[in-house]
Chains A and B, each alone.
Chain A
Amino acid sequence: MTGSNDRIGSSTVGVSTPAVELSGITKAFPGVIANDRISLRALRGEVLCLLGENGAGKSTLMSILSGLYQPDAGSIRIDGREVRIGSPRDGRELGIGMVYQHLSLIPTLTVLENLMLGSNPGIVLDEVRARARLGDLAARLGVHVDADVRVGALSLGQQQHVEIIKALWKDSTVLILDEPTSMLTPQGIEELQKVLLGLKASGLAIIFITHKLHEAIAIGDRVVALRQGRVVGELGPEVLRTGTPHEIQGRIVEVMFGEDPTRGPQIAELREDLAAERSDARTRLEGSPEILRLDGVSAPGARGQHGIEGATFVVREGEVLGVAGVDGNGQRALAEAIAGQRRSSVGTIHLGGEEVTNLSVGARQRLGLRYVTDDRLHEGVVGRYAVGLNFVLKRIGDEPFWRKGTIDRKAIETTARSLITEFDVRTPSPATPIGKLSGGNIQKALLARELSFDPRVVVFHKPTHGLDVKTIAAVRDRIRALAARGVGVIVISTDLDELIDLSDRVAVLFAGRIVGVVENGPQAATRIGELLVGGEAAA
């Protein structure tokens, strides 16, 4: 706590004065009150975890604190002083650093340029010092970041690292992280947690938004839950530090959703016997026909990213094949090669016995191939189009949404309404531009689009990132149900628990190569971990 004084820069501020105090913050958007008289305080030397279902208003609240949005009502105090934060720049000057949920880096600039942009007011940019600082912060996060690669060429996980480094770049009093771990591997998350604990000890106030309960328990001193724009509960250290993790998770879920968590296995994290459920795979898939086959497929990667080399595997009808690996090891190249967005230079791809190697994206879609991209904002949706139109963007021109070549808005709206209900997409209306939805709700809409219209093979790339615990459970159930109907499924994820939960087999991707395939079962997690490490050793 004593270390905080040099950051406060004013001896009149007592230790007990909250670093941040929000009172009565209200923010309405067309058709929804995102924040409804929210009051919240964050103390120095404390990690405050902000939890809540998708669309609860977390990102909005934090964007108000960072200066991106202006509240309709309410006041903000920083170190006891009332302030008006007119822009993110004002926010930075007040010592508020933020990692936004949706990455805000400029893709055409290099990593170093992006980092120096936000910080350096002078004309002469001190590149040498910036490089040193980048190296230092990267080392603390335990990651390697190439300073001179264009950000657009990085995987989303790597971009997330840069984003975190950017928030740490300038010493801040308040550090806000909006789902900073959604793209990271378990090791990455551990390193981040260490860094945050270090920062906390030096007197920062940290506000951490996450959907992963165990993260909240591991680093949170306090948990505040939002629901429908309001604060619905708070758990202090006394709760977070007593009982088994399982019990604490139960408590958190209870305040988040206001209901008894023991009713049914709705929350993925609360389930314990994950692997066992899938271990009957061998018998179940016996004799099931091949639906997707890759033979020696190689495809180039974007600059600074791995492509894939010699990918060979088979997915059977009804099978879930997981793909594990650190983000940036060829996941995107693999997914895009299957989807047809990236032409493979060598090898062949068969879909249900038919060769599709040279078919276009659209032709493969018509054969029943679906790809749920991990880049929902830049690729998966058109942000300024209505939710409804986004549902049918992969079927432009098809009946019944286009009749005799002209658009049938009624038909689109009808379908949209039923998908919105079925997938619980929280949106004011089907006509709302999809970019206005909360991150998790955009993800739900994306999944709704791909899971409908009778797929035969679905490639999921980080299918549950940004979803709340309840929705994750629902989505995983849907993926299982999909497989049970005979669909071939590939799940690419950095989240090992997710892969264990879903897969029949897990392929491990390292540096663009599949270094091993593991049958799911009791020892699977250990084996996958070994392969990941082994791949690293072999490289």
Chain B
Amino acid sequence: MSEAAGRTAVNPRRADGLIGRIGLALGPILLAFLTTAVLLAILGRDPVAFYRDILLAGVLRPSGLQDSITRMAPVLLVGAGLIVSFRASLWNLGADGQYLLAVAFVAGVGSRVIGDLPPVLGWVVLAVAAMLIAGAWTFVPALLKARYGLNEIVTTLMMSFIGIAIANVLIKGPLKGDEMVPQTFVYPEGTMLWDLPGTTIHVGVVAALVVVVLVHLVLTRTSLGTRLDVLGANPRAAVHMGIDVPRLIVVAFFLSGALIGLAAASDIMGIFGYVRADWDPGYGLKVVPLVFLAGLNVIAFIPIAAFFGVLSIGGDYATRKADLPSDFILVFIGLLFLFMIVTQYVSARRARGEPVLPAWFRRTLPARDATEGDGG
């Protein structure tokens, strides 16, 4: 949807091309910053201090910057996963269940077996397993959609709830370690993903970057990418063109889930080393607006993921310091989504040469006449 809006901005007289697109992405961000500032002021906090804290903790302190970069990895992978399905107009909203089931496996099983596996190979095996598990968790919604046309928004959400519950049952039961608290064993010393020399950034981040670039190439260069786009643009055309739509739906969902599973593997093996019950970072819904902000373009999503990394690492610190719940940062993200939709609506209308303001409002303005000579 945002992609369509991006592509329809073809009127040469309007801000267009790269600049137009950047504007389309930056405009809502600025507006969200401003509105959040007003909110902070109303709550009696100092907006300037708040934003300075975000910047400080998220970028300026070396440890903060490294944390922010590390945080990018899961966001990138989950985002790439969502983009794969969203481009085909398949709304995989079950990322959280897919993620947590993979997490339960990589933490619960991985922590027990990693010591017995050869170093690098162990990571690869666990990562592949995580991808298969999360990918497989999409089968039910995918098949229901492919075979009976059932709405995947409902089914992926439902499967997500079920997946989250199962993950917690596993972590409290069969996958529990021997501590009293409900959590898995911890990865033994030296079995976690290596950090890049001299940093706290693990190699999973590099892997994530490589993977998303590959995903981008698949989406933009290969026949699979074209098929996904055709299905997304017009399902009837997809059938007419001879695309095997049911199969494509299953493949798209599986890839989507697999990338989300890879995010889980990277988080557990790179950062946490274990998981406790009822932990849920809730990436699924937080990342949804961000991928639209990127116009469902994986490369455009990279800076946005970086931005999100800064926002969440810096935001943790800033909200704590301002004595606000850490979820306050979600207010910002919500506003961002809202302004994004408004900006795109306005720019789409402008591109079509339609008046932007509603008729009742225009009538109260003086008639527009020769002064509006921007084109003719």
Contacts and interface: CB of A to CB of B under 8 A. Distances in A.
Contacts of B368: 84
A126 interface: no
Contact of A362 (B7, B12, B234, B244): B244
Nearest to B225: A407
A87 B359 contact: yes
Contacts of B240: 339, 341, 361, 371, 373, 379-380
A262 interface: no
Q: How many of chain A's residues touch chain B, expressed as a range? A: 35 or more
Contact of B353 (A69, A360, A397): A69
A84 B368 CA distance: 10
Given A361-B240, A362-B244, A396-B241, A70 B354 contact: yes
Contacts of A186: none
A402 B355 contact: no
Nearest to B221: A406
B376 A72 contact: yes
A87 B360 CA distance: 13
B16 to A, nearest CB: 10
Nearest to B220: A407
Contact of B222 (A70, A373, A406): A406
A378 B227 contact: no
Contacts of A380: 237, 240
A264 B339 CA distance: 61
B230 A382 contact: yes
Contacts, number: 92
B364 interface: no
B124 to A, nearest CB: 24
Nearest to B240: A379
A70 B353 contact: yes
A360 B10 contact: no
Interface in B177-195: none
Q: Which of B4, B226, B229, B375 has the most CB of A within 10 A?
A: B226
B362 interface: yes
Contact of A382 (B11, B222, B233): B233
A365 interface: yes
B320 interface: no
A378 B237 contact: yes
A364 B239 CA distance: 12
B8 A86 contact: no
A433 B7 contact: yes
A396 B237 contact: no
Contact of B7 (A378, A384, A393): A384
A391 to B, nearest CB: 11
Nearest to A67: B354
A26 B239 CA distance: 40
B4 A384 contact: yes
A122 interface: no
A360 B354 contact: no
B199 interface: no
B241 A394 contact: yes
B354 A361 contact: no
A20 interface: no
A41 interface: no
Interface of A: 26, 30, 69-73, 84, 86-87, 89-90, 339, 341, 360-362, 364-365, 371, 373, 375, 378-385, 389, 393-394, 396-397, 402, 405-407, 433
7 contacts: A26-B376, A30-B11, A371-B240, A385-B233, A393-B237, A396-B230, A397-B226
**A-B pairs with lowest CB-CB distance, top 4:** A397-B223, A362-B242, A73-B376, A72-B376
Given A30-B12, A384-B8, A406-B221, 5 more contacts: A86-B354, A86-B362, A341-B239, A405-B222, A405-B223
